[in-house]
Structures are given as C-alpha cells and as structure tokens.
Amino acid sequence: MMKLMRFVKPYRWLLALSIMLIFAQANLDLALPDYLSRIVNTGIQQGGVQDAMPEAIRASEMDKVVIFLSAEDKEDILASYSLVTDSSPDYDTYLKQYPTLETEPIYVLNDIPQSEIERLDPAMAKALLTISGIEKAMEDPATAAEMGFDSSRLPPGMNVFDVLGQLPAAQLEQITASVDEKFSELGETMIVQAGVNVVRKEYEALGMDTEAIQNNYILTSGAWMLGLTLLSGIATIIVGYLSAKIAAGMARDIRRDVFQHVESFSSTEFDKFSTASLITRTTNDVTQIQMVSMMMIRMMFYAPLMGVGGIIKVITNESPLAWIIGVAVLMLVSLIAIVFSLSLPKFKIIQSLTDRINLVARENLTGMMVVRAFTMEGFEEKRFDVANKDLTAVSLFINRVMVVMMPLMMLIMNVMLLGVIWFGANEVAASNMQVGDMMAFMQYAMQIVMAFLMLSMMFIMIPRASVSADRIHEVLSTEPHIHDPKEAKKFAEPFKGEIEFRNVSFRYPGGDIDAVQNISFVAKPGQTTAFIGSTGAGKSTIVNLIPRFYEVSDGSIFIDGIDIRDVTQHDLREKIGYVPQKSALFSGTIESNLLYADKDATSDMLQSAIDIAQAREFVSEKPEGMATEIAQGGTNVSGGQKQRLSIARAIVKKPPIYILDDSFSALDFKTDSALRRAFKEKSKDSTLLIVTQRVSTIKNAEQIIVLDDGRIVGKGTHNELMETCETYKEIALSQLNMEELA
C-alpha cells in the first residue's frame, strides 16, 4: 500500500480534516460511559448531589463537623465557606434558596475550584459520617453505651457534641485519628459517596427541594449525552463522506495513471503483461484499493483511538477489573495473528486466479466462432470450470477463516462481559466499586473489543489490497522500452517520406535469435514497396519497426535522412497511416471510427475515403448509413468490411507514409484490384509499404522485397524477381499461372 502513497497527496487536506473529525468522534464516544456512570452513581444513588462538601450547611452542623477535622482540614474547610446571618447584605437572596436561614445562620460554600472541592471531600465526608453515626447511636441507648456515651449522665442542656467540643486538643486529635482509622478500609470514592447521603439530609434540613436537584442532574447529564451522541453522529457522517470522496478520487487517479502509462507501452511491455491481467489490474485491483482506502480512513484511525483511549480510561480510573480486558485483548491479538498468517498467502494467489479466469473467459468469448466450429464447447466449459473451481476453492478457504474468526471473537467478547458482571458484582458487594463505575467499565470493555474487531476486519482486507497495490505498482513502475529523446529533432519541411533501413536487425525480448537480420532497403515517395515471404519470415516485424512499436536491436531506420529515434514518437506516427494485420474497430459508428484518424475531417473527406476503400456498397446498404453502430471489436461486420473500414480510416488521415500490413487478405480479387487502383491514384505522392501473401496484390509494385527466415533474399520488380529470385518464383507459381504472371 505504501507504494501508492503518492496518490494520497492531492487529498492530504481532506485526509487531515477526516483524522481531526475521527479524533473528535473517538473522544466524544469515549466520554459517554463517564456520563452513564455519573447518572447511575450521582444522579440515582446520590440523588444528584455530587460532592460531600455541601453548597450550604447549618452553623450548628458546621460546629459539629469541625470537631472531627484535623487542624489543617479545619482551616481549609472553614476558609471555603462564608457565614450568612440575618444581618448579611445578601440575606434575602439566600433565604429563598435555604428557608432554614430564617431560624439559624448557615455557611455557604464560596466559589472555589472543583479540584479544591474534590481534595476536601474525603475529610468532610468522614466528619459528616461520624456525626451521623453518633446521632444514630444516641437514639439507641444500648448502642450509645457500647460507644461510651450515656446521655443520662450529660449535664442539663448539653449534648454529646457540646461535650466533645470542650475536650482538650490532644483528645480531639485522638478522636480524629480514630475516625480516619475507622474509614481506612474504604476507598475515598466510597467514603465520599456515603458522605453525600448525609449531605442530602442536610439539604432537606435546609428546606431545599432534593427531588428537583436529582431530576436536574439526571436531565442535564442526559442532555449532555444526547448532545455528544449527536455530535459524534455528525462527525461520523462527515467522515464517511470525506472517506468516500478521497477513496473514489484516489481510484480515479490510479486508473487514469495506469491507463496513461499503459498507453505509453511498446509492444515489448505488452508481451510482458497479458490483456486480461491489465484489465484486472485497472478494474478489480483498483476497486480493492478504493474499498480498503475508504475503510482505512473510517476504521484504521478510529479503532486505535478507541482501543487505546478505552484502555487509558480504564487505567486512569484504577478499576480492579482491568485484568479482564488485558486477557481479552491478548486472546484477540492471538486470534488475529493466526488468521492473518493463514490468509495472507491465499490473497496473493486469489488475484492471479482472477487474472486466469478473466483470460479464459476473454479467450472463449473472443474465439466463440472457432470454438463452435470445432465443437469444443465441452472442452472450453471444462477449462473455465477448472479456473472457476480454483478461484472458488481459495475464496472458500478465506471465507471459512472469516466465518470461524467472527464467532470466536464474539465468544471472547461475551465471556469478557460475563466476567465483568461476575467480578464487578463482587467488587460492588465489597464496597470497592460503584454500580455506575461497573457499568462504565462494561461500556469501555465493549469499545475496546469493538476496536479490535474493526482492526481484525482491516487486517483481513489489507493483505488483499496490498497484493492489488503491488500489482498496480508493477505496471506503473514498468519503464517503457521505447523513449522519446531529451532533445528531439523535427522533420524538415516539406516532408517527403523516404524510408531507409540500414543494416537493421531485431530480436524479440527473451528470444534466442534475431527475428530479422541485416535488413537494408530504401522506400521512396510515390512508389510502392511490398514485402512478401513465407509465414514467419519477418514481414510484419519489419513494418512494425517503422512506427517504433518495437525498437531495433541493431542498425538504424531513417526517414528523410533523420533517425526515427531522434524524433518524438508523436511526430513520427503523425506521418504514418497504419492499417494493422488484425483490423481493429472501436465501438461507436462507422463515422466515429473514420473520424478517429482526423476529428476535423469533413463529410466529403469521409465519403471519399469510403469510395477509395471500396466500402460504399455495404455502407449504403445499411439503413443508418455512416451512423451505423459498430459493435465492440467490430464483431457485427465481416472481415472484409472491417479491413476496408480500417483502410478508409487510414486514408482519412492523409499521411505521407502508408503501412498496410496484410490488409487485403480478406478481400476478393476484384475488390482487391479496384481498391489498389483507387488507392494508388489517391496516394500517388505517398510512400506505400504493403505486407501481403498475394503476388497479384504487389505485381505492379515498384519494389518488392522477398524475405525468408528474417533475411532479404530478393529485391526488385516482379519481372526482375521472376528471373533472379527462386523463392519469389516459387511463391508466384504457387498462386498464379504463367499467363497471369506475364
């Protein structure tokens, strides 16, 4: 995947925005369990009261509290409150909030930082709980006696707190130390939660509406949860849109670059990559990259943030159940590693098998007429069935791995949740954990496991995409064998079109011997140079060297005295009208195929080309005429019609050089003769090179080059060769009688 990172560069700002939104979404999602914990712990269990430091407390209660505080805590807590009496300037305001102020003074909490409140909470909670415990004990004489208090022995008008308040400082410190020791077994969180219940009673004593406090807290926390969820949903939608936009843009750019790069390939590169493979790489492989890119943006960044963030939250909260998540994560990582090791080799195979099935299907559909002619339908069905079964077997293996993996992951997740509930309930019962904290822990556990589930999905998708990326990179990194010169020359004007081969040899890539050897000749403008010889003699190879479809291995080719390697391929091919051995038409109309040579060609130019190519008769027979649709590959026209349209297309270009590579083979002798006469008249000033097997086609050519086994064995006119070249004479006599050869 890293090999294609340059395609991400145009979308780096969109990617950065997506990552920022994903980061925000992860933080929003991670905050939700905390709010759930607060609703349960504070909203339900604590009645909406958050701290053991009450926002207001009666002066009589504060006098009791300070008895059980250390000197340092006493100073800090008293400094955190302000005494309000009936002579205070804001008396009326506080009276509405705290009706008990009418009968006795109260202390009101100052505006201090929350961190300071949380620091003083445990000390205040211990004092309040001690006071509550003593008050309950005094209501039961037997319990009071056990604690060393006997209300009957107290002086008239005094209570136990008055007596405690008059004790020496040393004794008060002992009492404070005893209180701390009593609560040492409980954690500070549990102490504060227990102290909050005493604060609620104090609020009731102050005349406050405790039910409204609870409802307000729950509704406020719920509103925050709803708001965070909505923001997370919006972020998810935007990230989904951006990821789809980035992935689609990348896929478009990759397809464009692959297509443009393939267009620069010479025939040497096309010999390396099959057509089916190039199609698969441009479609199926790019689709894999697109899909994984989109999923990576949405999951690859989100999942680690959720997993790591959840783990940090659990560690920060010092949960006694953290070990359960550790075991679950270890099991998940082990499972993912096993699946990854099993699947990766198969993903490398599956793309090559896709190439294979595309190749078989393409060959079958292209050669359907041949298959039927030789009644080989059964053989082709078996061949396709083998390729299909191979692909199916690998796909089934991968799917079976996936089928096994998902239930195992769900089993791990459910066992983990069961463990959280079981051990969490024991911790709650032992007062080591609050119910809300356990519920929040379950949420974090789910988020962490789901993060690993998402990562596991990516680990399954990435290997196949990685294989696809390698295949695409292989195409893009393949340097064309034929290059334009850095400082290109230009053909002189006026352009003549004289072609000269000087000791040209060529060997196909990977070949052991030269396909053509030491070829030298000159093709002049206004003349026809024909190539004839047995099959495999090198005729098509020679003419394919002129437009640089292949590069010569040795020697040089000159046009108007300039080596064709010194000009750009565009300038070279612009001078050539090429009709390939296998005629190629494109889907569209007859007119659009002719305009392929010159998009600015007029209707008269098209009609003239049709007439010269002897295609007027069958074009006129079509109801739509020039607007007749041509199927892909020209499958709805005959071989002869296809050849004539290909020749007409070359004529529309009006090039100074024509190369006709066995372009009359599908024509009858009458049409062949008429076409050559009309073509000769039209191209009388052009250089014409013809490859053919027919002696009748080239009988009147100014120069005939006879090839045998890649070498020139004869050169001259028809009459000269009949006298001097035995190879040509054998070919001629095998096709025509002596009268026709005269």
What are the pLDDT digits (tens) for 718-740?
888 988 898 888 888 887 765 55
Give the C-alpha separation, 544 to 538, whole Å: 10
Mean pLDDT of the 270-274 span: 75
Show the DSSP H helices in 430-502 as ranges. 435-476
User: Structural domain tally of the chain?
Assistant: 4
Choose the final residue of a domain: 185, 208, 231: 208
Q: In whole angstroms, what separates CA 611 from the centre of its chain?
A: 53
The answer on 667 and 621 residing in a single domain is: no
Sequence-ordered strand ranges (E) for 494-561: 499-506, 516-523, 528-533, 554-559
**Do residues 324 and 419 make contact, with C-beta atoms less than 8 angstroms apart?**
yes
Residue 348 shares a structural domain with residue 202:
no
Together in a domain, 644 and 682? no
User: What local confidence, expressed as pLDDT, does residue 264 receive?
Assistant: 80
CA distance linking residue 191 with residue 120, whole number of Å: 12
Model pLDDT, residue 171? 62
d(CA 575, CA 623): 35
Here the CATH number for the domain that contains residue 430 is 1.20.1560.10
* 349 shares a domain with 471: yes
Is residue 616 located within the same domain as residue 519? no
Residue ranges of E strands in 22-91:
56-58, 81-84
Q: Identify the pLDDT of residue 235.
A: 93
Distance CA 300, CA 303 (A): 6
Residue 589 parent element (H or E): strand 588-589
Q: 422 and 376, same structural domain?
A: yes
145 pLDDT band, cuts 50/70/90, is: low
Any domain includes 326: yes
In a domain, 387, yes or no: yes
DSSP 652-670: HH--SEEEEESTTTTS-HH
Residues of the domain holding 638:
583-654
Question: Torsion over CA of 339, 345, 346 and 350, rounded to 10 degrees?
Answer: 140
Lowest mean pLDDT among 28-32, 318-322, 641-645: 318-322
| Partner residues linked to 559 by β-bridges | 499, 562
Q: Give the pLDDT band of residue 162 (cuts 50, 70, 90).
A: low
In the listed set 208, 225, 257, which residue is the last one of a domain according to the structure? Answer: 208
Note the Cα 399 to chain centre separation in Å.
21
| Per-residue pLDDT reduced to its tens digit, 605-614 | 888 888 888 8
Estimate the share of the chain in helix, then strand, then coil, as percent rounded to the nearest 5. 65, 10, 25
Check whether residue 686 and residue 555 sit in a common domain.
Answer: yes
Q: Tell me, yes or no, whether 644 and 661 share the same domain.
A: no
Residues in the chain: 742
pTM: 0.72
Phi, psi of 587 (to 5 degrees): -60, 140
In-domain check, residue 28:
no
Q: What is the mean pLDDT of residues 261-273?
A: 77
Q: Are strands 554-559 and 56-58 parallel, antiparallel or unpaired?
A: unpaired
Does residue 47 sit within a domain? no
Max CA pair span of the chain: 157
Residues 669/678, Cβ–Cβ less than 8 Å: no
Instruction: Flag whether pLDDT at 324 surpasses 80.
Output: yes
